[in-house]
Amino acid sequence: TDEIWVAMLAGRLVPVLGTGVPLNGGGDAHLPARDQLAAYLARTFDAPREHAGDLAKVAQYIVVTRGIGPLYDELHDIFDREYEPQPVHRLLAALPPALRDLGAPQQLIVTTHYDRALEQAFDETGEQYDVVSYISLGRDRGKFLHRSAEGDERVIQLPNAYADVPLERRPVILKIHGEVDRAPARASESFVVSEDDHIAYLAETGLAGVLPVTLAARLRRSHFLFLGYGLLDWSLRVFLHRLWSDGQVDYRSWAVQPAAGVVEREFWKKRGVEPSARGLDEFVSILRARLADTTLEGAVR
């Protein structure tokens, strides 16, 4: 973890949160892990049993048989809830003061989650952040929406000329599969979830062509830390295709996947990614201890 920690404190590490990062909802909340979400939607919409384990297939069945509206309504009900931030969320939300003290740029955090657990962790620390989220519907499909810490929203029409994301000054959360919109109008709500969504996402240009220039530059010049991903995660393969569309991997990266087998390890190796044998909880605990030591050293100085 030494190399990972050094890259993190230098502002040169991009965490990528996959659907394997668990979320705990209060009461009878449905846990939005990918397989659980697929099973729940399959039961709710009476999808064929053979689709029950595949979220993209279940979502596609719902879109074809019921329409996208009922699917979005159900997803909204699931993700428009207060989910308790997990240790990895709290770790990321605790980093900004240390990065400021070191004079390092703030974090770019990539997530495929639709909920607001990560944002809630930042809210609880009082840290400001910007959100850049993917738009999967309507006339702006394929573009990204920038929501500033002040609450202003703007569709990014000219990414190469868009320099209004203050990545040097405050963290940016990049939601590559869209997000739930908790406002009553739900105007910014977007979910990359069905087979059609993934096909459209895959067919689009590399991420560098649609992201603000500052974010694209950070992605090109960063190490990546993949958290909560498995080889069979379709969203991971689509993301990697768009991230490294030119096939070039210039910085060493890591994946927390303790149960990785031979095939998984070869998959990561070909992409310049080193799998970690540690579990996610152990990994986060080690990094939190390193952060505490760094904070203590700063206080002593």
188 vs 168: CA distance, rounded Å: 26
Whose structure tokens read 């909920």?
115
Looking at residue 247, its pLDDT comes to 58
Q: Report if residue 52 sits inside a domain.
A: no
Q: Answer yes or no: are the C-beta atoms of 47 and 41 closer than 8 Å.
A: yes
Q: Answer yes or no: are the C-beta atoms of 235 and 18 closer than 8 Å.
A: yes
Looking at residue 293, its pLDDT comes to 86
Looking at residue 26, its pLDDT comes to 46
- Among 132, 197, 138, 200, which residue's Cα sits nearest to residue 167? 132
For residue 271, give every residue at least 6 positions away whose Cβ sits within 8 Å of its Cβ, in sequence order, or none.
Answer: 240, 244, 249, 253
297 vs 143: CA distance, rounded Å: 43
Residue-range definition of the domain harbouring residue 242? 2-29+81-294
Query: Tokens standing for 59?
Result: 């979502």
Looking at residue 45, its pLDDT comes to 97
Q: Splitting the chain (301 residues) into consecutive groups of 10 residues, what average pLDDT does each group show?
A: 91 88 52 78 93 90 97 95 90 95 94 92 97 93 95 94 93 95 90 90 78 91 86 68 69 84 81 85 92 65 42
Query: In what helix (H) or strand (E) does residue 174 lie, and over which residues does it extend?
Result: strand 172-175
pTM of this structure: 0.92
Looking at residue 99, its pLDDT comes to 93
Looking at residue 130, its pLDDT comes to 98
Looking at residue 29, its pLDDT comes to 46
Q: Beta strand 130-134 with 144-147: parallel, antiparallel or unpaired?
A: antiparallel
Q: Report if residue 157 sits inside a domain.
A: yes
Count: domains in the chain? 1
Q: Report if residue 75 sits inside a domain.
A: no
For residue 203, give every residue at least 6 positions away whose Cβ sits within 8 Å of its Cβ, in sequence order, or none.
Answer: none
142 vs 139: CA distance, rounded Å: 9
Q: Report if residue 43 sits inside a domain.
A: no
173 vs 85: CA distance, rounded Å: 15
254 vs 137: CA distance, rounded Å: 32
Q: Report if residue 258 sits inside a domain.
A: yes
97 vs 109: CA distance, rounded Å: 16
253 vs 268: CA distance, rounded Å: 9
Q: Report if residue 139 sits inside a domain.
A: yes
Q: Report if residue 162 sits inside a domain.
A: yes
Looking at residue 280, its pLDDT comes to 87
Q: Report if residue 54 sits inside a domain.
A: no
Looking at residue 23, its pLDDT comes to 58
